Amino acid sequence: MATARKTTARKPSAKKCPDCDGKGETAETVRVGSRRTPRETADRQAAFCLACFGTGEAPTT
């Protein structure tokens, strides 16, 4: 005998995080030098998005 199939509730579609555009990470400028005179280079480094904690979804507040 076949069992009845149960449907599950769908998760509502999440909105993209405005800080990282839904990617989960941002690009930060690399700084070199001492604390007193840091110089910014042309290089960029991937950084974890602190607004959405890397999920890419907009924070709910």
Domain ranges of the chain: 14-61
pLDDT at position 17: 87
d(CA 8, CA 54): 26
pLDDT at position 3: 79
Whether the per-residue pLDDT at 6 is higher than 70: the answer is: yes
pLDDT at position 51: 84
CB distance 21 to 53 below 8 Å: no
pLDDT at position 35: 82
Point out which residues pair with 31 in neighbouring strands.
40
- pLDDT tens per residue, range 9-58: 666 656 888 888 888 888 888 888 888 888 888 888 998 988 888 888 88
**What's the N-to-C CA distance of the chain in angstroms?**
47
